[in-house]
Amino acid sequence: MAPKADEPMADTRDMYMAHAALRRELRLLPGVIRSAQPGDSRRAEVVGAHAALVCAVLHGHHEGEDLFLWPRLRERGGAAAEAIVPTMEQQHHDIEQRYAEVTGLLRTWRSTAWGGEALAEAVEGLAAALERHMALEEREVLPLAEKYVTAKEWHQLGEHGMAAIPKRILPLVFGMAMYEGDPEVVKAVLATVPLPVRLLVPALGRRRYAAHAKRIHGTATPPRVGN
């Protein structure tokens, strides 16, 4: 069904914010894995839990696009959508295979603290494939989403991704995303949530991510990679 003429359309700025977080954490992760000494199971568990969280966020993010974005673009976007959506779907498939490799190696590394180099290399492959995908998506897909997907429909993507994250760590995930986010975009993302949440989450998210980053990256202000 086509959007109504007066219906608000998607504000895709939050996608750039999500992409920045995924870029940053996946670029930094191989170095963090390599910094853990072989056999140091305590450190491997700490870093491994972080890696598992980043992978879960990525998986939920792409699953939401598969369910809610590609079908709508195919239905409404005409030739422009038909030219790019199959490529997006194929890239998702390729990334999912790399994701499966990473998560398989990660389970062993978390429990034994051995095999870190193979895991780091697998993460590098995942990060490179994801970078190619996100750059193309930002260039070709987001302009189509702004034209053919409503704001309400767009919110379904974020809601789907968040539904897979345990509520106790949602502030951390939001803090991870907003670390490089434009304050105006953060404000727009929170505009539809209850006022107490809108007031609490930004400060709580910043604190949670700062503490988390200190534990994982050794600093509360890890290098920003931007978009």
The CATH number of the domain where 70 resides is what? 1.20.120.520
b/e map 203-212, b = 16+ CB within 10 Å? ebbbebbbeb
Residue 118: what pLDDT? 98
Does residue 32 have a pLDDT over 70? Answer: yes
Number of domains in the chain: 1
Does residue 18 have a pLDDT over 70? Answer: yes
- Does residue 27 lie in a domain region? yes
- Does residue 183 lie in a domain region? no
Which candidate, 200, 206, 204, places its Cα nearest to that of 220? Answer: 206
- Does residue 215 lie in a domain region? no
Q: Backbone phi, then psi, for 9, in 5-degree steps?
A: -100, 170
Does residue 5 have a pLDDT over 80? Answer: no
- Does residue 5 lie in a domain region? no
Q: Backbone phi, then psi, for 150, in 5-degree steps?
A: -75, 160
Q: Residues 117-130: pLDDT tens digits?
A: 999 999 999 999 99
Residue 227: what pLDDT? 45
Does residue 1 have a pLDDT over 80? Answer: no
Residue 198: what pLDDT? 83
- Here the tokens at position 200 are 């609490």
Residue 195: what pLDDT? 82
Does residue 215 have a pLDDT over 70? Answer: yes
pLDDT band per the 50, 70, 90 thresholds, residue 2: low
Lowest mean pLDDT across 105-109, 110-114, 157-161: 157-161
- Does residue 199 lie in a domain region? no
Lowest mean pLDDT across 47-51, 173-177, 199-203: 199-203
- Does residue 197 lie in a domain region? no
- Does residue 132 lie in a domain region? yes
- What mean pLDDT is predicted for residues 131-136? 98
Residue 193: what pLDDT? 79
Residue 103: what pLDDT? 98
- Does residue 90 lie in a domain region? yes
- What mean pLDDT is predicted for residues 92-114? 97
Tell me the residue range of the domain where 108 lies.
Answer: 13-167
Q: Residues 159-195: pLDDT tens digits?
A: 898 888 888 999 999 999 999 999 999 999 888 778 8
Percent of the chain at pLDDT > 90 equals 84
> Which residues is 150 bridged to in the sheet?
9
* Helices within the chain (DSSP H only): 13-35, 41-64, 70-76, 78-112, 116-136, 142-148, 151-163, 170-178, 183-189, 195-217
pLDDT band per the 50, 70, 90 thresholds, residue 25: very high
Does residue 69 have a pLDDT over 60? Answer: yes
- Here the tokens at position 210 are 């700062």
Does residue 199 have a pLDDT over 90? Answer: no
Residue 115: what pLDDT? 96
